[in-house]
Structure 1
């Protein structure tokens, strides 16, 4: 297990003399080289989102991107005459990404300096570095899953959801029901390992311990009858959200230890985390066991603690906690489970853990 990695989640491009050759308002007929096109496609296939922060006339610049056949690759573009640091911050906020996961490339040293001054965690690169981007470790994730390859499409579907919600009139629950959401929780297998490992690495706000599990560690847990490795996926009428959550749990006869719960921040507003927790609490109640959740504070996972507390986990001591192996820096939250109702805003398909056999030995 290692700390969360430093792979770039989104590369923000300047346009003039960076993405394309020339200055739009002076040259008009600016062009993108085949090499840059290939770089944009490669980063997209690796699951790295891309955006634009450019001082330009918005309509003219966007129209040129459309004419060049490359506009579809850029999410949450910011094209205006304001400071680029503000544009980059808005992009990060819209994507719910930490500044440390954002990269910015610009041909102007003054623009890079302005972004670096206001957003010191953003990684800045000169335009001369563009040909080498795809070879840099921060732009080369160790694994590329199916969800990664379609990450841009999923974010674009997310924008459609946001637009639909803005147009909706009535209670929020009615809107959530209108999405016709479906969640499937299943036991992870070898095919899921890369996505599960990716979730533990990329998720920071909704990661209960901030721990990254390697493929090898996960493979060992999947093969261990005393552990459950579960992955949750979601879809709705706009399309798939992909795999959005992972649970790692150690099972003893009288207590289940939730060692990790991580969910994508993209589905927080849809109540995905609450649905997963309520399902697990219900399963524990039906199995007649206590639940103990590991929590380790990080700079960004306050929301995860709130989710646990809201679901009923407390600091109260329980004799069952003493039987669990200690972990450095980890708090233990306890819950005596009760039967929970089925979710009212989505269809849930999940395994019956309460009926699964558990060996009597301790973990």
Structure 2
């Protein structure tokens, strides 16, 4: 069986006679065909980011994209007169994508050759291939998650957030407070399963065990009334961060076993892990249960151990360990950290990284 090609994460479009019909600076009344518009909207739905790289007058070209109703679909437009390979390289660097995850489409053979020469890993396509793009495996991700469908929105929000942070003159804490951060903790849904699996697989710095839970394992846990599969989402006044955390919890009458806590590196600076642990401790205290948290050291997750220790988890033997029946953890090198939760007065606002959230954390009741 042939190996599936790496999925394209970003397609960079030429404009004249590629995205639209005609040449703008020649005075043509350029138009986008229904077929091209369908490619743009479907790639966006699949989570493939799209950018523009065109030798054109920037203001004139961008105004035309807005008039045609497609400007919002494109991130990081590079419209000017430099080499297109330099623009594609700049877009990849800004997105932090490997060149092998980038693609470029242009009607001019010389432009494709210039990009291929300087960036051989970038896949280049002739504009005549446009109608076939959606059927190519590299543009067809195995699954489309909730976050895939809003990936562009999340990146655009991130660019606005980064620009404002760079321009902000006050302390970082004041800027974070101005974000109006919010967090939601809820039970995973069917639509979120693929993203949940990604979190177990791709997070490393803030992953308590590094154990991968595949789709079948997650479905079994979701069907078990003693287990909770919880998804953490975050956002701020700029837009959503998407699904940024996962909690796998086994609950008995006397013990709550935190089998996995993982959060995205994108929200480390907000102290998301600590906020989740504080909420979980309060929930366990209300139920009168002890908390046991699994931790397995990896080369990159020292920050997660620190988060557990700061929350009060210790290497403390307790009879509640006897209530745990899961096997195989010793072979994985898992430590079981223990905490007897104490109910604390509920604050008016939660705190992330010493910054008060001005919107309440929305969380499921366990």
TM-score range, shorter chain: 0.7 to 0.9
Alpha-carbon distance, 1:184 to partner: 1.4
Matched residues in 2 for 1:250 and 1:85: separation? 51
Tell me what 1:75 maps to: 75
Tell me what 1:348 maps to: 361
- The 1:273–1:260 alpha-carbon spacing in structure 2 relative to 1, beyond 3 Å, is closer
Matched residues in 2 for 1:177 and 1:327: separation? 42
Alpha-carbon distance, 1:229 to partner: 1.4
Query: Does structure 2 conserve the Cα–Cα contact (< 8 Å) formed by 1:293 and 1:332?
Result: yes
Matched residues in 2 for 1:116 and 1:206: separation? 35
**Is it true that 1:325 corresponds to 2:328 in the alignment?**
yes
Tell me what 1:293 maps to: 295
Gaps of 5+ in 2: 345-349
Deviations 1:316-361 (A, max 9, x none): 9999899752599x764665558799524334343566xxxxxxxx
Query: Does structure 1 conserve the Cα–Cα contact (< 8 Å) formed by 2:51 and 2:75?
Result: yes
Equivalent pairs, count: 339
Deviations 1:34-91 (A, max 9, x none): 2111110111222322111233332232223223322111012122333434323332
Matches within 5 A, 1:187-198: 187-190=187-190, 192-197=192-197
| TM-score, normalised with respect to structure 2 | 0.72
Query: Does structure 1 conserve the Cα–Cα contact (< 8 Å) formed by 2:205 and 2:304?
Result: no
Q: Which structure has the greater CA radius of gyration?
A: 2
Query: Does structure 2 conserve the Cα–Cα contact (< 8 Å) formed by 1:255 and 1:292?
Result: no
Matched residues in 2 for 1:239 and 1:273: separation? 20
Matched residues in 1 for 2:115 and 2:284: separation? 49
SS in 1 for 2:361: strand
**Is it true that 1:170 corresponds to 2:170 in the alignment?**
yes
Tell me what 1:10 maps to: 10
Matched residues in 2 for 1:80 and 1:273: separation? 43
Tell me what 1:237 maps to: 237
Gaps of 5+ in 1: 354-363
Tell me what 2:43 maps to: 43
More deviation in 281-290 or 131-140?
Answer: 281-290
Query: Does structure 2 conserve the Cα–Cα contact (< 8 Å) formed by 1:273 and 1:307?
Result: no
Query: Does structure 2 conserve the Cα–Cα contact (< 8 Å) formed by 1:256 and 1:290?
Result: yes
Tell me what 1:151 maps to: 151
- The 1:57–1:173 alpha-carbon spacing in structure 2 relative to 1, beyond 3 Å, is same
Query: Does structure 1 conserve the Cα–Cα contact (< 8 Å) formed by 2:16 and 2:22?
Result: yes
Matched residues in 2 for 1:148 and 1:101: separation? 15
RMSD: 4.2
- The 1:257–1:232 alpha-carbon spacing in structure 2 relative to 1, beyond 3 Å, is closer
Query: Does structure 1 conserve the Cα–Cα contact (< 8 Å) formed by 2:232 and 2:244?
Result: yes
SS in 2 for 1:8: coil
- The 1:190–1:166 alpha-carbon spacing in structure 2 relative to 1, beyond 3 Å, is same
| TM-score, normalised with respect to structure 1 | 0.73
Matches within 5 A, 1:26-175: 26=26, 28-109=28-109, 111-116=111-116, 119=119, 121-175=121-175
Tell me what 2:347 maps to: none
Query: Does structure 1 conserve the Cα–Cα contact (< 8 Å) formed by 2:14 and 2:106?
Result: yes
- The 1:16–1:180 alpha-carbon spacing in structure 2 relative to 1, beyond 3 Å, is same
SS in 2 for 1:103: strand
Deviations 1:290-334 (A, max 9, x none): 42234666xxxx5xx2532542579x9999899752599x76466
Matches within 5 A, 1:271-290: 271-276=271-276, 279=279, 287-290=289-292
